């Protein structure tokens, strides 16, 4: 296990709290990316800024050998912070409610440690990605040639995870996170007086039937072995209590853990939206907003990550091949373009951590050292520390 100097961990905690106090929404992370670039330069790394607008890559070379990448997301969320500690957000309506401040600090500390010790032979690319929350910064970096400009054999990422013991690691040889697609269904009928419904075609009743019918896709049209969630999260329609409206709109999300299930579920939602309203004299139309794909680890790179975590933390703290989450993550785009793996770093100490995307959440600084140890072990094992 790498002995991370206490001053590096303490410095990482200070960086993390500074980022937390100054959160920035995706593609606006100018202060954040500027600070990242400044620190990487001070460690002696090659620094490349402006990738996907506010992304930064720091490159550390030491001898001949392969290259790997480590990625951290840097953006915050449009959430009002409810905490009262000294490092609480100073930006109204914006906070680091998902722990990207901690991910960034862990990766910066790893860069500093490796730049000082250099017990490896090869190249490490430290990828600081903007706009993970909804804007697809991972896809933007891939489209702008991340892997062409910085060739690497594999790329890895972590995410802190409430619900898992502090500092424990969970990694799967397959899916870690779900795909995420949004949809909007417009139901068009014929408006009428509420006292004379027979003279119209009621999209409200059709919407009620359709909402219930859509839930049978996961329970009756997909195998119980296929994991998917269909959630209707918004209903819009009507203006007056005594008028049946002409239109009602439903909006929601589809999440799946395989590409095949995703394709089947989208087709079935289209079919249900078109057919279920017909007996009511209502027409249904779906508009899709295709989102993040499945975050799927490759077995070989997942195994390498597991072995590194075991060497850093011990086998008892590493969990393998456990249930995936139906939340989504845009590191999935990088895993489609390059082999790699993604893992969860537990956040719960003696009491459960507040949920992600919650105004009362704060990153658990006690896990920063464990995150650094895993990254260092992965680099040194992947890039041949024994021969460096």
Full domain range(s) for residue 280: 179-291
Query: Are residues 255 and 165 both part of a single domain?
Result: no
Q: What is the CATH number of the domain that holds 201?
A: 3.30.70.360
The answer on 166 and 40 residing in a single domain is yes
In whole angstroms, give the CA distance from residue 281 to residue 259.
Answer: 34
Q: Does 104 reside within a domain?
A: yes
Confidence of residue 384 (pLDDT cuts 50, 70, 90): confident
| Listed residues 273, 291, 309: the one ending a domain | 291
Secondary structure class of 205 (helix, strand, coil): helix
Q: What are phi and psi of 370, to 5 degrees?
A: -65, -40
Local confidence band at 386 (pLDDT 50, 70, 90 cut-offs): very low
- pLDDT tens by residue, 87-101: 999 999 999 999 999
> What's the whole-number mean pLDDT along residues 131-148?
95
Note whether residue 166 is domain-resident. yes
Q: Is residue 388 part of a domain?
A: no
Whole-number pLDDT of residue 1: 60
159 annotated ligand binder: yes
Residue 134 pLDDT level (bands cut at 50, 70, 90): confident
Find, among 216, 208, 56, the residue nearest to 137 by Cα. 56
Per-residue pLDDT tens over the stretch 1-27: 669 999 999 999 999 999 999 999 999
191 and 247 fall within a common domain: yes
Known binder of ligand: residue 193?
no
Would you say residue 387 has pLDDT above 70?
A: no
194 inside domain: yes
Binding site annotation covers 357? yes
**pLDDT tens, 71-89?**
999 999 999 999 999 999 9
Give yes or no for residue 388 having a pLDDT over 50: no
pLDDT of residue 351: 77
Identify whether 347 is part of a domain: yes
Among 276, 291, 306, the domain boundary falls at 291
Q: Which two tokens stand for residue 40?
A: 């990487």
62 annotated as a binding-site residue: no
Residue 33: inside a domain, yes or no?
A: yes
Cβ–Cβ < 8 Å for 366, 349: yes
| Same domain membership, residue 95 and residue 208 | no
Q: pLDDT digits over 45-69, tens only?
A: 999 999 999 999 999 999 999 999 9
For residue 352, the model assigns a pLDDT of: 82
The average pLDDT across 98-121 equals 98
Query: For residue 334, what is the domain's CATH number?
Result: 3.40.630.10
Residues 55 and 87 in one domain: yes
CA separation for the pair 245, 231 (Å, rounded): 23
Tally of residues, the chain: 388
Are 80 and 122 within one domain? yes
* Beta strand spans in 178-263 (E): 179-188, 192-193, 228-237, 243-244, 247-256
Entry pTM = 0.94
Determine the average pLDDT of the residues in 178-199.
Answer: 97
Same domain, 109 and 205: no
CA distance 187 to 14: 52
In a domain, residue 261? The reply is yes
Whether residue 304 is contained in a domain is answered as yes
Confirm if 100 and 72 have CB atoms less than 8 A apart: yes
What would the pLDDT profile of 201-250 be if each residue is shown by its tens digit? 999 999 999 999 999 999 999 999 999 999 999 999 999 999 999 999 99
Picking from 64, 73, 105, the residue whose alpha carbon sits closest to that of residue 87 is 105
DSSP string across 294-310: -EE--HHHHHHHHHHHH
Count CB atoms within 10 A of the CB of residue 193. 11
Cβ proximity of 232 and 250 under 8 Å: yes
Task: Dig out the tokens for 92 from the structure.
Answer: 């109204």
Please say whether the beta carbons of 295 and 176 come within 8 A: yes
What sign for the dihedral angle of Cα 342, 334, 295, 23? positive
Residues 228, 321 share a domain: no
52 and 162 both lie in a single domain: yes
Are 83 and 17 part of one and the same domain? yes
Residue 46's H or E segment, with its range, is strand 46-51
Q: How confident is the model at residue 385 (pLDDT cuts 50, 70, 90)?
A: low
pLDDT for the residue 2: 67
Residue-wise pLDDT for 259-269, tens only, equals 999 999 999 99
28 and 171 in a single domain? The answer is yes
Structural domains in the chain (count): 2
Question: How confident is the model at residue 135, as a pLDDT?
Answer: 82
Cβ contact 335:329 at 8 Å: no
- Per the CB < 8 A criterion, the answer to whether 313 and 374 are in contact is yes
pLDDT in tens, 269-322: 999 999 999 999 999 999 999 999 999 999 999 999 999 999 999 999 999 999
Tokens of 267: 């087709």
Indicate if 19 and 156 belong to the same structural domain. Answer: yes
Average pLDDT over residues 161-170: 97
pLDDT in tens, 340-359: 999 999 999 877 889 999 99
User: Of 235, 257, 291, which one is at a domain's C-terminal end?
Assistant: 291
Token pair of 366, please?
A: 């006690």
């Amino acid at each position: 296990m790498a002995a991370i100097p206490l001053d590096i961990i303490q410095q990482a905690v200070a960086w993390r709290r500074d980022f937390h106090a100054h959160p920035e929404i995706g593609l606006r992370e100018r202060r954040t990316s500027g600070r990242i670039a400044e620190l990487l330069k001070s460690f002696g790394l090659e620094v490349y800024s402006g990738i996907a607008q506010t992304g930064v890559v720091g490159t550390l070379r030491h001898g001949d050998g392969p290259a790997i990448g480590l990625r951290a997301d840097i953006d915050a969320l449009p959430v009002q912070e409810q905490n009262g500690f000294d490092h609480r957000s100073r930006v109204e309506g914006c906070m680091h409610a998902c722990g990207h401040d901690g991910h960034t600090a862990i990766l910066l500390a790893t860069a500093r440690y490796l730049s000082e010790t250099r017990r490896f032979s090869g190249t490490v690319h430290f990828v600081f990605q903007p706009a993970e929350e909804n804007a697809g910064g991972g896809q933007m970096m891939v489209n702008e040639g991340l892997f062409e400009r910085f060739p690497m054999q594999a790329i890895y990422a972590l995410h802190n995870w409430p619900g898992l013991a502090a500092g424990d690691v969970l990694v799967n040889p397959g899916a870690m996170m779900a795909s995420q697609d949004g949809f909007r269904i417009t139901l068009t009928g014929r408006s009428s007086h509420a006292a004379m419904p027979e003279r119209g075609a009621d999209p409200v009743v059709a919407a009620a039937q359709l909402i219930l019918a859509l839930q049978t896709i996961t329970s009756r049209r997909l195998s119980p072995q296929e994991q998917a969630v269909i959630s209707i999260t918004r209903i819009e329609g009507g203006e007056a209590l005594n008028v049946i409206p002409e239109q009602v709109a439903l909006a929601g999300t589809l999440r799946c853990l395989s590409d095949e299930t995703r394709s089947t579920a989208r087709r079935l939602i289209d079919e249900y939206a078109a057919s279920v309203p017909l007996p009511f004299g209502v027409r249904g139309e779906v508009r899709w907003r295709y989102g993040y794909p499945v975050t799927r680890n490759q077995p070989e790179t997942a195994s390498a990550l597991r072995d590194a975590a075991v060497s850093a933390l011990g086998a008892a703290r590493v969990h393998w091949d456990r249930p995936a989450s139906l939340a989504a993550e845009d590191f999935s785009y990088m895993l489609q373009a390059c082999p790699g793996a993604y893992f969860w770093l537990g956040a719960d100490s003696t009491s459960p951590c507040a949920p992600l995307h919650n105004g009362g959440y704060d990153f658990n600084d006690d896990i920063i050292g464990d995150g650094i140890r895993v990254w260092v072990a992965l680099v040194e094992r992947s890039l041949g520390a024994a021969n460096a």
